[in-house]
Amino acid sequence: MAHARRERWIAFLMVLPSMILIAVFVYGFIGWTTTVSLSRWDGVTPDYEWAGLDNFKRLFAGGGVAAKRFSIDLWNTFFFTILFLLLCVAFGLLLAVLLDQNVKGEGIFRTIYLFPMSLSFVVTGVVWQWVFAPGAGERLRGVNALFHTLGLDAFRWRWYTDTRSIGPFHVALIPVVIAAAWQMTGYTMAMYLAGLRAIPEELREAARVDGASEFALYRRIILPLLRPITLSALIVLGHISLKIFDLVYTMTGKGPGFVTDVPGIFMFETTFQGNHYSQGAAISMIMLLMVALVIVPYLVFSLRREVEL
Amino acid sequence: MTRRFDPARLAIYVLLVLFGILFLVPVYVMLSTSLKTFAEVQDLSRLWGLPHNVTLESFSAAWSGIPEKGVRGLSRNLLNSVNLTIPATIISAMLGSLNGYVLSKWKFRGADVVFPLMLFGMFIPYQSVLIPLTQTLSAIGLGGTLWGLVLVHVVYGIPITTLIFRNYYAEIPNAMLEAARIDGAGILDAYWRVVFPLSLPGFVVVIIWQFTNIWNDFLFAVSILQRPALQPITVALQNLSGSQIKEWNMVMAGAILAALPTLLIYVITGRYFVRGLLAGSVKG
């Protein structure tokens, strides 16, 4: 459309407030946080005295408490992300494929698998804290109590309070991953289901006419077509996992010996409970960097293609 | 299509039902625990059982608190959540609609740079803006207030609401706008006469999405609102569950109160909820 010059100005003015807000609250504030992370601000009153990279060095070297905790946090984030993505993609795909088989009551099943998405991570955290509460001795709780009643005492363990680890992997993360996957698997299912519905029926028919088994049909034709969806799901869920806070904070907190600690919790406690603002800012900058490494290429890629955007 | 008995189909249903049961375990836990008395919750041999004497006493305790034990009720916080979520949702939907309209139909020079820069704002870990945010809100007199939190949700809601409306308006044929322009309608007239009347489904998707997100937020609220009387229900529920002696029936009743509004919206408007969900993955 050819627009009059005046109207192009009005168009610009209509988005200007939003652009200014985003410029200030996103980019300006990120710049401000960067400044804080390079300062000595360590208390309630701001102090912007230059500290160079001291706050970052304390996170990565020196063998202090902060460095130990942050190294555990990064490993926890790594394993949490891998397991969480694995569960969400595998079960999301499985449920979508099952629902795609002309099942009766599809709507009911879909509603059940997806409803956790509508809940707050705080609600999820509260409920799963109950389910995986280990209890102690004679006073067993949650799943442990259930195991005991069923005579399956061999399966009892300390769940999210367990301090054992396999290499850098803390087993206490498993219950937290289960809770997170419970909440988000419906999301991948919905994405895959939308993808499956977009595959034309003729394509399936053609393959069947050619004598392909249902299994071969999925393996050779349908799953490859779903690959872009897997990529989107991995990126959206992956970035959620990198910045996760509410769920872990409510369900377990940092855990004994930081077994369930994540950078989000470390940042929050350091900043708002410990008043170590510059240290908290440095942690948040690392979180931003991790998320940006995943999101920026994705945004550039999907906007360049302008697929249905 | 009629089918005869087929073991493969039976297996499909068995799996679907099994997963359904697994997904509903936490719901069972919430409901059965919240309907028990405190005495029964403490009886560990009956943890997973149905309540013996169904009672709503935990709900009234969660609602109005137990003053003699120093436990605050959640009714106030539920009201805070309502007061916070409704204005923030409406304002950010309006902003998103205007932005989406301009960015899909009236692209000015540089609009294709502005849009991705805006979108990046919905992916950032909010931890990376929290310190300046709390400082700024205090400086402009909105520190520790519900209106401050409303402003925060409006601002950080701009990317997703703009994205959803931009995709939605892309479907409206340009010819309809051209027709309005030939009749002499300017950019704002065209919005009110052509685009806005067609926007209802877009608004439904955005309002559901924003309502759910803002209602469920924890990080912004816990960082900005220190006064317990002002906190929304997510923060109050977290406090309740973090207390030393846990009255689990009351905590679960509180969790149900916190979950119910968004859960009801989801069950009633499922299709639109899913649309918002899929819009969040950028490509839609």
* pLDDT confidence of residue A1: 47
Q: Which of B155, B258, B259 sits opposite A25 (nearest CB)?
A: B155
Please tell me which residue of chain B has the smallest CA distance to A215.
B8
CB atoms within 10 A of CB B171: 10
Give pLDDT, residue B99: 96
* Residues of chain B below pLDDT 50: 283-284
Contact A159, A142 (CB under 8 A): yes
- CA torsion sign for A134, A136, A139, A140 is positive
- Per residue in A89-113, pLDDT tens? 999 999 999 999 999 999 999 999 9
Give residue A308's pLDDT.
43
Partner-chain contact B131 A280, CB within 8 Å: yes
Q: Give me the pLDDT at residue A62, please.
A: 79
The pLDDT, as a whole number, for residue A307 is 43
Q: Which amino acid is at A178?
A: I
Which residue from B19, B158, B222 is facing A95, i.e. has the nearest CB? B19
> What's the confidence (pLDDT) of residue A7?
85
Residue A298: count other Cβ atoms within 10 Å of its Cβ. Answer: 20
**Cβ neighbourhood burial of A278 (10 Å; 0-12, 13-18, 19+):** buried
CB–CB of B270 and A111 under 8 A?
Answer: yes
Task: Specify the pLDDT at position A3.
Answer: 57
In whole angstroms, what is the distance from residue A161 CA to residue A257 CA?
Answer: 9
Q: Do the chains contact at B135 and A191, CB–CB below 8 Å?
A: no
What is the distance, to the nearest Å, from the Cα of residue A132 to the centroid of all Cα atoms in its chain?
20
pLDDT of residue B35: 97
The pLDDT value recorded for residue B3 is 56
Encoding tokens for residue B251? Answer: 């905590």
Q: CA-to-CA distance for A34 and A36, rounded, in angstroms? A: 5
* Nearest neighbour of B263 by CB, restricted to A29, A32, A119: A119
**What is the ipTM, given to two decimal places?**
0.94
Does the model's pTM come out above 0.80? yes
Strands, E, within A83-145: which ranges?
135-136, 139-140
Q: Is residue B85 within 8 Å of residue B211, measured between CB atoms?
A: yes
E strands present in chain B: 65-66, 71-72
Which of chain A's residues have a Cβ under 8 Å away from the Cβ of B133? 25, 29
- Residue of A14, A38, A234 best to disrupt the B interface, most CBs of B under 10 A: A14
Residues of A in contact with B262 (CB under 8 A): 118-120
pLDDT reported for residue B108: 86
Which residue is associated with the tokens 């459309």? A1
Predicted confidence (pLDDT) at residue A192 exceeds the cutoff of 90: yes
Residue of B nearest to A140 (CA): B44
A309: pLDDT strictly greater than 60? no
Residue to mutate among B14, B105, B128, B171, with most A CBs inside 10 A, is B128
On chain B, the residues whose CB falls within 8 A of the CB of A98 are: 12, 15-16
**Selected residues 226-265 of chain A with any CB under 8 Å from a CB in chain B:** 228, 232-233, 236, 239, 242-243, 245-246, 249-250, 263-264
Give the pair of three-digit tokens for residue B280. Answer: 């969040």
Percent of chain A exceeding pLDDT 70 equals: 97
Residue of A nearest to B96 (CA): A18
Contact B282 A130 (CB under 8 A): no
Task: Please report the DSSP string for A142-173 in residue order.
Answer: HHHHHHHHTT-GGG---GGG---EETTEETTH
Is the CB of residue A240 less than 8 Å from the CB of residue A294? no
A189 vs B: CB within 8 A: no
Give Dmax (Cα) for chain B. 77
Give the pLDDT score at B230. 96
- pLDDT given at position B210: 96
- Shortest CA distance from A235: residue in chain B: B281
What is the interface size between A and B, counted as CB pairs within 8 Å?
280
| Site from A100, A109, A110, A127 to mutate, B interface, most B CB atoms within 10 angstroms | A127
Say what the pLDDT of residue A114 is.
96
Identify the burial level of B111 via C-beta atoms within 10 angstroms of its C-beta, where 0-12 means exposed, 13-18 middle and 19 or more buried.
Answer: middle
